[in-house]
Amino acid sequence: MVAITLGDPGGIGPEVTLKALRRVRSPRTAYLLLGPAAIYEALSRRLKAPARFRELPYYQRDLLRPGGLYLLNPSPDSKKEPVRMGKVCLANARLAWASLKVGAHLAACGLVDALVTAPVNKEAMRLTEGGFVGHTEYLAGVSKSRRVAMMFDGGRLKVTLATIHVPLKEVSGRLRAADLAVKIALTDDFLRRFYRIRAPRIAVAALNPHGREFGTEEDRIIVPAIRRARRQGIAAAGPFPGDEVFHAAYHGRHDAVIAMYHDQGLAPLKTLAFDQAVNITLGLPFIRTSPDHGTAFDIAGRNQADESSMAAALEKARQFLLPSGK
């Protein structure tokens, strides 16, 4: 059972969702769209590919059958607020928020097995929820998960972020050996359980150029975190210079890399797998994946969005739920 949030309806989320479902919909999985039927119906007409879904008046798991496509509208009064394409606006944010809230609670309560989130615009979300930081933080809060991490799967390169959306000048001050050890442990656990890797090899990137040559964070923070992980039986190694470690991982010497900051990890990953990468939240009591892109307001409503990353997110969620991983 996979629930799919609406995302910002003024962006490309609903479009890539419908396109992706045409590609990867499985007869072994039930899919639940969370959003107003009118949005998906209008979009399917524009795409000239009717989305045949059954609208549910309320959620009841035994109403859903493998292979089926269903819809639950968390915003029954949504017709009063028309969607504005390609714009940051409160009406769009309300729809996105309602969908995310219902999806998060369904997943946290075990009523669905996985949650795939379409992209939202954080500026828009803060118009209705002023404290909104991102999907990862919100889902952690709803599920009362204290230890979470953001990992990106780009195929041959998998990257977990030690810090997420932090100004570069603040990264050093945000790094803690204990927190970094948690990210390493979460990555190791997820690779073992869902990628079926018996002894994951985890590389930890250095923060500074050439590793220890131009800073002290490696010896003060990163090395102690690696030692702590090793004491737990984790095959962690490093710190490796950032200009070398991703190349090594891509060529099979590491199963995943822990990057110290957002662009250190995502620049190489998106260079290699911009249209196929998947964002995965580690540490939640349910599977959560999402496409590795934003709302793309500049092309919203033009039928130009590439659905590959959303298709990969749907397929990863399904594979993670199957005992064989296939």
Tell me the per-residue pLDDT of 208-253, one tens digit each, with 9 for 90 and over: 998 878 889 999 999 999 999 999 999 999 999 999 999 999 999 9
Q: Are 52 and 141 in a shared domain?
A: yes
The predicted pLDDT at position 325 comes to 47
Report the CATH number at residue 187. 3.40.718.10
Q: What is the pLDDT of residues 63-111, one digit of tens each?
A: 899 999 999 999 876 556 678 898 999 999 999 999 999 999 999 999 9
**Residue 61: what pLDDT?**
86
Q: Residues in the chain with pLDDT < 70?
A: 77-81, 323-326
Domain co-membership, 112 together with 126: yes
Residue 277 falls inside a structural domain = no
User: Do 182 and 140 belong to one domain?
Assistant: no
Question: Are 115 and 141 within one domain?
Answer: yes
> Residue 311: what pLDDT?
97
- Alpha helix (H) residue ranges in the chain: 13-24, 37-47, 90-108, 122-128, 135-142, 171-174, 177-194, 217, 223-231, 242-250, 262-273, 308-321
- Dmax (CA) of the chain: 62
Range of the domain at 108: 2-145+284-321
Is 278 part of any domain? Answer: no
One domain, residues 18 and 30: yes
